[in-house]
Amino acid sequence: MNLSSGTPPNLDLLYDVPVNLTVELGNCQMPMRDVLQLAVGTVVQLDKMASAPVELFVNRRLIARGEVVVVEDRFGIKITEIVGN
Q: What is the CATH number of the domain that holds 66?
A: 2.30.330.10
Residue 47 falls inside a structural domain: yes
Among candidate residues 51, 48, 57, the one with its CA nearest the CA of residue 83: 57
Residue 38 falls inside a structural domain: yes
Phi, psi of 12 (to 5 degrees): -55, -30
Q: Could you report the per-residue pLDDT of 9-54, keeping only the tens digit for each?
A: 777 888 889 999 999 999 999 999 999 999 999 999 999 998 999 9
Query: What is the model's pLDDT at position 5?
Result: 59
Residue 9 falls inside a structural domain: no
Label residue 6 by pLDDT band (50, 70, 90).
Answer: low
Give me the DSSP letters along 3-17: TTTTB-HHHHTTTT-
Q: Is the dihedral of CA 46, 43, 58, 67 positive or negative?
A: negative
Q: How many domains does the chain have?
A: 1
Q: Which domain holds residue 72?
A: 18-82
Residue 63 falls inside a structural domain: yes
Label residue 1 by pLDDT band (50, 70, 90).
Answer: very low
What is the C-alpha separation between 53 and 66, in angstroms, rounded? 5
